[in-house]
Structure 1
């Protein structure tokens, strides 16, 4: 008989499993094959916990609010930025048929749920505490588990915090243990992400290979948590023979330093990679012997980059990643905790003596991808400017009013629209997007309002629904609304005033309930002042105005957006490219007249045009400045060839603008551009403002 795995709980998108769904039903009532757990403690996957904490500035109340927000939006604790969840501890409360999943589990038992929370519907009433050392929250609420979920009775003789943290690594601990046994590994290195994780992997390997096996650990020197190097070293012994603190973002320098201290560096039988800093995977390849083993605790630990690093170094290594279910590996982990409980108690006692701290940035790439970035419905950002914009957008989304979104071409106005739609009461109804610049004056009325059968020559025999009818009960997005003729603006105003219209050729009044959101790349108020846009329509639309700033005014976003686009195109093309610090600097300093759309285009071209793993600064410079001057002069030539009469003043003004824009593109700053053109900074600044740049 087929076991229930929660497919009926999936809300968005349909026909997928709970773990990959965007949203699940977390209602309390049970269905066939389900059980409910009263939650006491949640262990959030480490990278997810770090991202949440960093995006909230390690502020307790903001962290709690962020976690509750994720659960409210998704029905589960599934961080969309890291795409990870965690595991939980709670009391077996009720089962639909009286039968809980898991061996010997009954109502009232304290249990561990070791299935990932990415697929577990969850509701939290309140969060009562945050443990920054383990990445855990104490809370009250419930989880819905299924017949396929893994429940294990809690051990009264083991402390809940470190037991739950170890169970979150259960499969990896078992896999590393087995790999060491199978390979007969005698020399093992662990690239650890924190003290606790390094300790439990050390215990798993020590249990596998005994006291004679040499196990060393490497940790990033900028990430020790609240412990000093001496404390970490002392705490990890005797599980770990020696711990080295290196800059993992510079793998070659790190390897050379390691080689001076550890004579067997380059000859390790097995290297365990638990950290996902870029550079850790290359260091692992260098540490391992030829045909040695690399064990990745997650595919996210840059497995693909390690393959490329091995190829570049001409080194053959065996690579493994454990990320699957194995029967009873939780028993192995519980036995392991018992085996090393004395050491885990020591770590726990040391943690409790230390105050909460804001952990230091691991590396530049880590800062970009985890610590600094925020993300709301795929809107990636880092700057305070955009963070404030997101707060404004999410607030406006709750109010069912018309909105004007303003900003330069390519700033992300449609992303703002998506945020409003997904966070509004109309989220489950259509969002119809129309580019007004493509609407022909003669067909505009029928496009907006539709027509009846035989309304005009060439009309469809079945008639046609217009944009308003298609968007009924949802959102109608009118992009470049400033291009509509005054005649169409008048007809649009009437519908907004009365919420009614007639189809072309129709006699039956159509009622409509539509939220109109419009966008324009120049302020509509300016068009009103020029007489090109109806003032009464402007005030009907302008209940709320959202101004999306250009990318050059939120430069901190450039880095996280660039990394996001790299990830996107890497996935599409099956490659593993990274941007060097010089490349990131080049992107950061550029003027970006085309904004986010231009940035995505540049990153796309960099991914396709690069042959190596690392994209350097020269590659960025080549693309940003290619033919800039030639393109500018070609524009003048084409204009002269197409025009029989020229307005000298207009032509000079346009070319002045292009020259100012070219200088900004090439130099990236107003001071540099002024120097390039041989003028004072103040003169250049005045001309820049005059040109609207």
Structure 2
């Protein structure tokens, strides 16, 4: 048994010299190196932008969606949507641990991987036969490989697996929001969360409140979601706007904040075209956090330049130290947030 690269470069089939996330194909061979961990896969969670793209492309045809996901995994040795570039994450049971693995995992341990499927070697053995192609969560059988610098978290004992998977899938968002809001130490900032009714959006609302934001605005797409936000009770104001309409989005936020933009704008919408509206909705000197894989970063950068907007723009990279524990803390602190997640994943509290 040999030692692999801690960043997984030894698993890259092509192109030579790439890291796993940027690779076209990975080697998903279940035989592990002495610093790797093999996980017996039980459920995948496709990220929202990827699943929306697949569902739109195939007109909601579950069988066609399932077939394309299988084809992507077979071709690439990982789950990385070629259109959105995004993947998701998974839960499973630790099957084998190399003697030099630094992750501290043990065989038989139920875990969620906290690294993207876009860089995780993945082999599916059941043809996804238990998945109807109609939800982001995918029952599956197969193997996945973790590297020395991968991240994983034990599944909590007091939470259903499907709910824990949904929380861990977006746990980077609330942790980053807390950090950004807390760093504006000179004054409590105003925060607008665009796409507030989704998983990352609703957790971001909770994090903004937890970080003592002066005012939190939830921006949603329709009155149904607005009613959900009012019941959730984590926003001071609820605004309805099409996030892909820059002027309408900007107007909705500034109206909710009495004529000025938000100090911190968090974008959690799983469709493209929200970049310019988010910039317009942000006050001069403010911060935009793009926590959506549907974001076009050239559009964001060039749009801000063209609008002469003095805003800082951050990419939510999905990892902040302690992010998994913090997301679980927020869920347990807000029972109605848990209800919203259960509704989103089709479960019942």
| Residue of structure 2 equivalent to 1:168 | 169
**1:273 aligned residue (267, 273, 286):** 267
- Residues 353, 280 of structure 1: CA spacing in aligned structure 2 closer, same or farther, 3 A cutoff? same
- Residues 245, 109 of structure 1: CA spacing in aligned structure 2 closer, same or farther, 3 A cutoff? same
**1:188 aligned residue (170, 188, 191):** 191
| Superposition map of 1:106-125 within 5 A | 106-125=106-125
CA shift, 1:113, in A, is 0.8
| Residue of structure 2 equivalent to 1:335 | 329
SS of 1:204 mapped into structure 2: helix
Higher RCO (CA < 8 A, seq sep 6+): 2
| Residue of structure 2 equivalent to 1:177 | 178
| Residue of structure 1 equivalent to 2:92 | 90
* In structure 2, C-alpha distance between the alignment counterparts of 1:3 and 1:48, rounded to whole Å: 28
| Residue of structure 2 equivalent to 1:565 | none
SS of 2:125 mapped into structure 1: strand
CA shift, 1:197, in A, is 2.4
Query: Does 1:45 pair with 2:47?
Result: yes
- Residues 122, 314 of structure 1: CA spacing in aligned structure 2 closer, same or farther, 3 A cutoff? closer
* 1:526-550 Cα shifts (integer Å, max 9, x gaps): xxxxxxxxxxxxxxxxxxxxxxxxx
| Residue of structure 2 equivalent to 1:200 | 203
* In structure 2, C-alpha distance between the alignment counterparts of 1:20 and 1:273, rounded to whole Å: 24
Find the structure with the greater CA-based Rg: 1
- Residues 337, 257 of structure 1: CA spacing in aligned structure 2 closer, same or farther, 3 A cutoff? closer
**1:248 aligned residue (236, 243, 247):** 243
CA shift, 1:325, in A, is 4.3
CA shift, 1:200, in A, is 0.9
- Residues 289, 312 of structure 1: CA spacing in aligned structure 2 closer, same or farther, 3 A cutoff? same
CA shift, 1:253, in A, is 3.5
SS of 1:148 mapped into structure 2: coil
* In structure 1, C-alpha distance between the alignment counterparts of 2:196 and 2:217, rounded to whole Å: 14
CA shift, 1:209, in A, is 1.2
- Residues 69, 302 of structure 1: CA spacing in aligned structure 2 closer, same or farther, 3 A cutoff? closer
CA shift, 1:129, in A, is 2.9
* In structure 1, C-alpha distance between the alignment counterparts of 2:71 and 2:161, rounded to whole Å: 26
> Contact conserved, 1:274 with 1:301, CA < 8 A, in 2?
no
Query: Does 1:264 pair with 2:267?
Result: no
- Residues 168, 285 of structure 1: CA spacing in aligned structure 2 closer, same or farther, 3 A cutoff? same
| Superposition map of 1:531-680 within 5 A | none
| Residue of structure 2 equivalent to 1:688 | none
* In structure 2, C-alpha distance between the alignment counterparts of 1:47 and 1:278, rounded to whole Å: 9
| Residue of structure 1 equivalent to 2:299 | 305
- Residues 279, 50 of structure 1: CA spacing in aligned structure 2 closer, same or farther, 3 A cutoff? closer
* 1:367-400 Cα shifts (integer Å, max 9, x gaps): xxxxxxxxxxxxxxxxxxxxxxxxxxxxxxxxxx
| Residue of structure 2 equivalent to 1:643 | none
Q: CA RMSD in A?
A: 2.8
CA shift, 1:233, in A, is 3.0
- Residues 285, 19 of structure 1: CA spacing in aligned structure 2 closer, same or farther, 3 A cutoff? closer
* In structure 2, C-alpha distance between the alignment counterparts of 1:241 and 1:187, rounded to whole Å: 10
SS of 1:249 mapped into structure 2: coil
* In structure 2, C-alpha distance between the alignment counterparts of 1:137 and 1:299, rounded to whole Å: 19
| Residue of structure 2 equivalent to 1:137 | 138
CA shift, 1:310, in A, is 3.7
* In structure 2, C-alpha distance between the alignment counterparts of 1:13 and 1:315, rounded to whole Å: 38
| Residue of structure 2 equivalent to 1:20 | 22
- Residues 270, 90 of structure 1: CA spacing in aligned structure 2 closer, same or farther, 3 A cutoff? same
SS of 2:211 mapped into structure 1: helix
* 1:154-189 Cα shifts (integer Å, max 9, x gaps): 101123223222322233321111000111443210
* 1:180-225 Cα shifts (integer Å, max 9, x gaps): 0111443210111753322111111111116xx321121334xx9x
> Contact conserved, 1:92 with 1:106, CA < 8 A, in 2?
yes
More helix by share: 1
TM-score when normalising by structure 2: 0.86
> Contact conserved, 1:130 with 1:136, CA < 8 A, in 2?
no
SS of 2:314 mapped into structure 1: strand
- Residues 250, 132 of structure 1: CA spacing in aligned structure 2 closer, same or farther, 3 A cutoff? same
* In structure 2, C-alpha distance between the alignment counterparts of 1:180 and 1:148, rounded to whole Å: 28
* 1:502-556 Cα shifts (integer Å, max 9, x gaps): xxxxxxxxxxxxxxxxxxxxxxxxxxxxxxxxxxxxxxxxxxxxxxxxxxxxxxx
Q: Which moved more, 1:310-319 or 1:199-208?
A: 310-319
CA shift, 1:132, in A, is 4.9
Q: Which runs of 5+ in 1 are unaligned?
A: 355-693
CA shift, 1:85, in A, is 1.4
| Residue of structure 1 equivalent to 2:310 | 316
* 1:274-310 Cα shifts (integer Å, max 9, x gaps): 2264552222222222212212225852344344444
Q: How many residues are paired up?
A: 342
* In structure 2, C-alpha distance between the alignment counterparts of 1:302 and 1:193, rounded to whole Å: 20
| Residue of structure 1 equivalent to 2:77 | 75
* In structure 1, C-alpha distance between the alignment counterparts of 2:331 and 2:292, rounded to whole Å: 21
- Residues 129, 299 of structure 1: CA spacing in aligned structure 2 closer, same or farther, 3 A cutoff? closer
TM-score when normalising by structure 1: 0.46
| Residue of structure 1 equivalent to 2:217 | 216
| Residue of structure 2 equivalent to 1:232 | 228
* In structure 1, C-alpha distance between the alignment counterparts of 2:324 and 2:347, rounded to whole Å: 30
> Contact conserved, 1:10 with 1:24, CA < 8 A, in 2?
yes
SS of 1:123 mapped into structure 2: strand
SS of 1:53 mapped into structure 2: helix
